[in-house]
């Protein structure tokens, strides 16, 4: 059995990853920026789930977590960098956009790319906020998103690699997104897309750097999932979104330096 640490796990895909892992008997460290929310989320998950406070943008919080994990568990086998921030907060406009996306994705998948090219029109109509392309997005907001989605994962990897070296099969899984794939860098959700493209680059970098130490470092896309971030119109359940991360954490033989969706390798 493995000891597996999951960031941003008080709700959404992270919580579902913890739920699935706990059922199979692994020791799970469920991390939450708000410890009370983490404890509430973990209620009923089992004695093998341990809640810890973690804000991945705060070095003190990361140091405290490290000390607590070192003294209580000694090492971890798997780090799942799941915590993430979306481009825009939930709003009526977003919900309308989600509904449109859902309809388009469900009925005519190839229209996906057309929807992206319609983005200027959607901006004009107010469905997508006006400052929402790479040319006009707020750099402050982009930096906040990068700080969480990419630098947060980077901080966690730097801090926890020394603890993971003790493992016989150390693995790092970065929860990325298809929006970070090169072919999808269209200026649609620019800050989020760039943060995930950078997270993918970070994955490749650490896969190469840690190869000789036996680490498996991979990224994955959960698909469009019905979480707070994905919204109620998304196409996938939380269970479907968590599935590939759980597989990457526990399947006997996995490669390193790859990007996965639905347990299959996909292009960067």
Ligand X SMILES: NC(=O)c1ccc[n+]([C@@H]2O[C@H](COP(=O)([O-])OP(=O)(O)OC[C@H]3O[C@@H](n4cnc5c(N)ncnc54)[C@H](OP(=O)(O)O)[C@@H]3O)[C@@H](O)[C@H]2O)c1
β-strand pairing of 49-53 with 27-32: parallel
State which residue, 33 or 104, has the beta carbon closest to ligand X: 33
Q: How far is the CB of 230 from ligand X (least distance, A)?
A: 3
Sheet with 171-175, strands from edge to edge, namely 49-53, 27-32, 3-6, 78-81, 171-175, 216-221, 259-261, 264-266
Give the nearest distance from C-beta 145 to ligand X in angstroms.
10
Rounded to whole angstroms, the Cα distance separating 31 from 186 reads 33
- Least distance from C-beta 255 to ligand X, angstroms? 21
Q: How far apart are the first and last CA of the chain?
A: 31
Tell me whether residue 211 or residue 263 sits nearer to ligand X (CB atom).
Answer: 263
Whole-angstrom distance, CA of residue 102 vs CA of residue 123: 18
Nearer to ligand X (CB atom), residue 210 or residue 238: 238
* Residues lying near ligand X in the complex (CB under 6 A): 7-8, 10-14, 33-34, 37, 54-57, 82-85, 148, 152, 175, 177, 221-222, 224-225, 227-230, 234
Alpha helices in 166-261 (DSSP H): 190-210, 238-250
Shortest Cβ distance from residue 241 to ligand X (Å)?
A: 6
- For ligand X, which is the closer residue by CB, 150 or 161? 150
In the complex, minimum distance from the CB of residue 90 to ligand X, in angstroms, rounded to a whole number? 9
Beta strands in 56-157 (DSSP E): 78-81
Nearer to ligand X, 214 or 235 (CB): 235
Of 101, 88, 160, 170, nearest to 129 by C-alpha is: 88
């Amino acid at each position: 059995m493995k000891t597996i640490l999951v960031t941003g796990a008080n709700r959404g895909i992270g919580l579902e990853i913890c739920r699935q892992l706990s059922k199979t008997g692994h020791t799970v460290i469920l991390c939450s920026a708000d410890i009370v929310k983490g404890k509430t989320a973990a209620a009923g998950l089992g004695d093998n789930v341990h809640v810890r406070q973690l804000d991945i943008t705060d070095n003190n919080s990361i140091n405290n977590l490290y000390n607590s994990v070192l003294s209580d568990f000694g090492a971890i086998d798997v780090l799942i960098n799941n915590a993430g921030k979306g481009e825009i907060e939930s709003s009526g406009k977003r919900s309308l956009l989600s509904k449109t996306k859902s309809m388009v994705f469900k009925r005519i998948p190839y229209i996906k790319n057309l929807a992206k090219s319609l983005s200027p029109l959607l901006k004009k109509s107010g469905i997508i906020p006006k400052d929402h392309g790479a040319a006009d997005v707020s750099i402050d907001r982009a930096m906040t998103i990068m700080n969480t989605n990419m630098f947060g994962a980077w901080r966690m990897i730097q801090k926890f690699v020394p603890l993971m070296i003790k493992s016989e099969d150390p693995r790092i899984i970065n929860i990325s997104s298809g929006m970070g794939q090169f072919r999808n860098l269209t200026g649609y959700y620019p800050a989020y897309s760039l943060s995930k493209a950078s997270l993918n680059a970070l994955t490749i970098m650490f896969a190469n750097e840690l190869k000789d130490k036996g680490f498996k470092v991979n990224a994955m896309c959960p698909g469009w999932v019905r979480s707070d971030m994905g919204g109620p119109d998304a196409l996938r359940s939380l269970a479907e979104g968590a599935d590939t991360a759980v597989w990457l954490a526990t399947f006997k033989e996995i490669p390193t330096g790859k990007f996965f969706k639905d347990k299959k390798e996909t292009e960067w």
